[in-house]
Structure 1
Amino acid sequence: MTSQEEDDVEEWRVLYQETFGYRQPLFHPEHAVFEFQQEPKFTGHQRNEELNPWKEAYEQLSRGVHVMNSLEQFVAAADIQCFDHIEEALKFLDENPEGHHEKLIFLHEGTHIVNHTIRIASDVQILGASSSEDIASSVILTGRHATILEFQEGANSAYLGYITVKYEVDTEHEAEVALIMEVDALEGGPGHPEPARLLPPDEDDDLEKVHGIESDPTTNCAMVVTGRGMEPTIERCNFQSGNPDSHTVVVKDHAAPKMKNSTCIGGCGGGIIITHQATGYFENCEFSHNLQSGVRVQFHANPYFYNCRIHHQGDVGIFVLDDGLGHFQNCEIFTNNKFGIELKSPQSNPTITECEIHHGRSGGICVHEEATGQFLKNRIHNNEFLAVWISDRANPVVRQNEISDGKHGGIYIHSFGKGLIEDNEIHGNVLAGVFVETGGEPYIRNNHFHSGKQAGVYFYDGGCGVLEGNEINGNSLTGVQIRTGANPRIIKNRIWNNDNGVLVHEEGLGCLEENTIFDNSMTNLYIKTEATPIVRKNKIFGSKGTGVSITDRGKGTIEDNEIFDNAQAGVLVLSDASPIIRLNRVHGNKSAGIEVSSKGDCVVRENRVFRNRFGGIMSASNTIVSEDHNQVYDNLNLVSKAINQGHCLFSVSGKEFYPMHDFYRCITCNSSERNSICQSCIERCHKGHVVTFLRCDRFYCDCGADHLEQSCCLRQS
């Protein structure tokens, strides 16, 4: 580049910057398209007209008109048209449609006060102009008497960019309203009604009326876009409002704006409302620190939000109600005062996908009052309460999400809530991964519940539904818990490496079918306290305790299962339990196959019981066991063999097992009924002593364990 060319570039740079103020060349290749060139580059082999971006930018922008607070500050070319107020510029452009000027307004740096709504009814382009790094913050359009900007019929392809639009409350009017309300509260108001009460969030209406003063959330705001076909482009703008009864931005009546890189921050009401069949595309926008919801969608509105941040609202982050739809993708929704997302009322049915929803102070997601919705591939984590709340016949799809590290539980389904809960990873929550209660009836399929601080899945107080094909492991307490009248179907799950695999208690019901329940720390399946489940066609193995324990008046039908390789008994019945045990294969357990003790009363029928370590079917004194057509064979019978060979029973049990056999008390040695002595020790160690038979039951020998004053001679030998 020659020195003359360099001088030419510099001259155009000075003219451009004095005219428009921008630090970089702003290109305007077509209507409603503006692109800054951040670093002008000059190459000697380019065409001459491309060598000077300042000239090119100036020529592309020169047909616009300018609005500034002080015309004296303008020192650019004389042919530039300038105005004091934006209304004058709009009027000029409307009256000269065929003139030299493009419908392009540069709103220069400073605060521009308007006294009534600026209605945009043509394809005008309004652009903030400033030398500031943050152009929008230095170009402010403000007023306090009415909505600041309204895009209406005719503004199909209008443009607004790099401007702050701020609605400031009329403080005199607000003081009058406050005084009226204060007087009414003190005097009881006309007719002395009761003082106004605070309504719960779910009782708010679209049009509230307090003491005769109506407030509409779609009026007196920063910007309104309304009307069919209204598709203005809004870029890099900031919207603010001091009106507590409205939203900062309103999109309604079939309007479909394209809003990018803009903000609604610090509103005294809500952030943005999309209503009455409006749509629109919102990308890289931020909605935060509004006293109400950040985004509200209702009345068949169906917007698309992409890569937006919605956070620190005084209420919920996103509120969809009254037939609202919408698509929210790749958004971050966090630290809202209530839920991150709330869906309410029938036909409310948005899609939330690939979003991050976290640190909600009431929780992550709330779906209620028959709402539906799709929640797909989201990360929902670190919420103060529940990650997902489903109630009141709501029926969402919750699929392929990661739900983790909540300070309460994962998903809570109650009050006849439903939902398809599918292919999620739910882990690390302080309470259960899923709670189902009070008529809840979800379909919970193919999820992975792991590493929870309590239960994996918890059904109680009449909760129902289907739990199918899930992986449930590594939870600190129970894999699946059923209690107090809950009656789910538990089908084809893998439940392993929890404390207890499945716990059914306190009159719990349920049907457990074709599950694989294994390697749990205590009991694979624990039934107690009047619980009556049906347990059918499951594989139950590898427990570090018993395979199936039924105790404390537990009931139920244990049918057609394979119960094997558990560290204690395959099936253990205790304490007035009365199950039906039939058609099972019980084998390879480290204690007995089936043990009935402590007043157990059960039916044991048509089982195949084989290769168990202590014996096949063993029953204690004072039990009622109805045995019929069982096949008991090839058990190792180590208990009987030890006694028959004169060995202390402790030799096969140690302190880890409680084999069933006759046990005695030695009066001479002053042993209590809590000190059990096996038959071999009675015959050898306590020969000639005064002894008494107590009962046949489960025990290990206290003599062999050296719990008595006299050492066991059988163990020493």
Structure 2
Amino acid sequence: MPVASHDGRSSIAEGGGGAHYQLYKVPDEVLFTIFSYLLEQDLCRAAQVCRRFHTISSDAELWKSLYQSVYEYDLPLFHTAHCKFEFVAPEEVDCSNPWKESFRQLYRGIHVQPHFQVAFSLPPTRNFDGCSRSYFETIDDAVSYCEQVERTVIFVHTGTYRQEVELCIGEAGVALIGAAPGNVAEHVVLETHRLTTVTFVEGARGAYLGYMTLKFTPEITSSVCPYSSCLEIRGNCSPTVDHCIVRSTSVVWAAVWVSGAGAEPCLLNCDISDCENVGLFIEDYAQGTYEENEISRNAKAGVLIKTGSNPTLRRNQIYDGRDVGVCIFNGGKGLLEENDIHGNAKAGVLISTQSHPALLRNRIFNGLDFGVEITINATATLGEKKLSDLY
């Protein structure tokens, strides 16, 4: 009878009868082609058959192809901690199959992929032999579904999502992340014309928004709410906004608006540029951490801080604005540390009306006005700084 050998193949025992076991004659290339049609759960089942099947079904190229067909990313994405997603080159990952490991970490997420269900005649939850995934047509549907289940990561796939209503996120721990090849944020666009594109409301502690473009493009003839923006973060919430591109053509309000006590977002690696009003507006005792963002070419102040707000701005690039780089007034506070502030049409940093920020190790240069301007009834703590080429 057939017995298994040490390499996972079978052979005929001496003196045994029965048909000769032929599978070992099948080339690896043929099995690889067959396995390339399997979905993730089938691949895992096949790996339990024998050593040879385990080796082939664990092939990195096989899992790379499956991973990219599901998530679209060019690199493995690792969910390393709460509110932290990181792309890592395969050769830098300390595991034998980074594509499979990334697939495993992301597997409980749900997907927003328009027309996917229609094309494959699938129910919202794709749960049959071979895989178990949930797909939705709209972001609102996916967010509503997250409120009912423990799956809190939503992958928003390639496309432009034009919404008639603002997307409100009030659930703790919900994560929305773009899913696309190449520069992910450029290929996943959320856009509105009348109301704010994305709003984090009270209760959205530990929520995450990453790798997307947020656009607010009001039409001149439309009735636009005067306080609409690309991104609004209200009091008593602390979301993380990471690697997002923000563009607003509104001339009446800021592109990013953070307001209210308890508003403590982390804004990281974002690009807030080419907006027709203020880039980042922080007011009414809001706080938060804003690190390594690019804030440039905005029509009014790059950053505006007022009324008791006390944010931390660290290692940001704030440049080429058509007004001041950073304006702090009406009792604003804050820590500005290691920022590059340059090429702005007015003062690099303007401090006025009973404001008291701290400036440490900033580089302020190539402006068309004062580097740091402190007006009446305002003070500032000025640490190490570099001021050059100021007029």
Give the aligned partner of residue 177 of structure 2: 127
Aligned equivalent of 1:150, options 199, 205, 216: 199
The 5-angstrom pairing of residues 57-206 of structure 1 reads 57-71=102-116, 78-94=131-147, 96-98=148-150, 102-122=151-171, 123-132=173-182, 134-173=183-222
- Could you tell me how far apart the structure 2 residues matched to 1:73 and 1:103 are? 25
Contact 1:117 1:149 (C-alpha < 8 Å) held by counterparts: yes
**Which TM-score applies when normalising by structure 1?**
0.44
Contact 1:266 1:288 (C-alpha < 8 Å) held by counterparts: yes
Give the aligned partner of residue 233 of structure 2: 225
Give the aligned partner of residue 381 of structure 1: 388
Aligned equivalent of 2:99, options 28, 40, 54: 54
- Shift of residue 40, structure 1, vs aligned partner: 3.4
- Shift of residue 78, structure 1, vs aligned partner: 4.8
- Could you tell me how far apart the structure 2 residues matched to 1:343 and 1:308 are? 18
- Shift of residue 6, structure 1, vs aligned partner: 5.8
- Could you tell me how far apart the structure 2 residues matched to 1:378 and 1:3 are? 62
Contact 1:249 1:272 (C-alpha < 8 Å) held by counterparts: yes
Other structure's SS at 2:295 match? strand
Give me the CA root mean square deviation: 2.2
Matched AA of 1:306: R
- Shift of residue 250, structure 1, vs aligned partner: 0.7
Q: How many residues align?
A: 330
Which stretch has the larger CA shift, 310-319 or 366-375?
Answer: 366-375
Give the aligned partner of residue 18 of structure 2: none
| 1:10 has 2:61 as partner | yes
Matched AA of 1:89: A
| 1:345 has 2:353 as partner | yes
| 1:330 has 2:379 as partner | no
- Shift of residue 345, structure 1, vs aligned partner: 0.4
Matched AA of 1:63: R
Instruction: Give the greater-gyration-radius structure (CA).
Output: 1
Contact 1:344 1:367 (C-alpha < 8 Å) held by counterparts: yes
Q: Deviations over 1:665-713 (max 9, x none)?
A: xxxxxxxxxxxxxxxxxxxxxxxxxxxxxxxxxxxxxxxxxxxxxxxxx
Contact 2:90 2:98 (C-alpha < 8 Å) held by counterparts: no
- Could you tell me how far apart the structure 2 residues matched to 1:147 and 1:296 are? 19
- Shift of residue 363, structure 1, vs aligned partner: 2.3
Q: 1:290 to 1:73 in 2, by over 3 A?
A: farther
- Shift of residue 42, structure 1, vs aligned partner: 7.7
The 5-angstrom pairing of residues 253-272 of structure 1 reads 253-254=260-261, 255-272=263-280
Q: Unpaired runs of 5+ in structure 1?
A: 44-49, 178-214, 386-717
Q: Unpaired runs of 5+ in structure 2?
A: 1-50
- Could you tell me how far apart the structure 2 residues matched to 1:105 and 1:172 are? 34
Other structure's SS at 1:270 match? coil
Matched AA of 1:92: Y
- Could you tell me how far apart the structure 2 residues matched to 1:29 and 1:40 are? 17
Contact 1:69 1:112 (C-alpha < 8 Å) held by counterparts: no
- Identical positions, percent: 28
Other structure's SS at 1:247 match? coil
Q: Deviations over 1:87-120 (max 9, x none)?
A: 11111111x235xxx1111111111111111110
Q: Deviations over 1:496-536 (max 9, x none)?
A: xxxxxxxxxxxxxxxxxxxxxxxxxxxxxxxxxxxxxxxxx
- Could you tell me how far apart the structure 2 residues matched to 1:70 and 1:111 are? 13
Matched AA of 2:105: Q
Matched AA of 2:325: G
Give the aligned partner of residue 371 of structure 2: 364
Contact 2:157 2:178 (C-alpha < 8 Å) held by counterparts: yes
- Could you tell me how far apart the structure 2 residues matched to 1:369 and 1:282 are? 28
- Could you tell me how far apart the structure 1 residues matched to 2:57 and 2:166 are? 46
- Shift of residue 356, structure 1, vs aligned partner: 0.7
Aligned equivalent of 2:90, options 30, 39, 44: 39
Structure ranking higher on relative contact order (CA contacts 8 Å, 6+ apart): 2
- Shift of residue 39, structure 1, vs aligned partner: 2.8
- Could you tell me how far apart the structure 2 residues matched to 1:29 and 1:289 are? 34
**Which TM-score applies when normalising by structure 2?**
0.80
The 5-angstrom pairing of residues 210-609 of structure 1 reads 219-228=227-236, 230-254=237-261, 255-346=263-354, 348-383=355-390, 385=391
Q: Deviations over 1:414-441 (max 9, x none)?
A: xxxxxxxxxxxxxxxxxxxxxxxxxxxx
- Could you tell me how far apart the structure 2 residues matched to 1:97 and 1:121 are? 15
- Shift of residue 53, structure 1, vs aligned partner: 1.6
- Shift of residue 314, structure 1, vs aligned partner: 1.2
- Shift of residue 28, structure 1, vs aligned partner: 1.3
- More helix, by proportion: 2
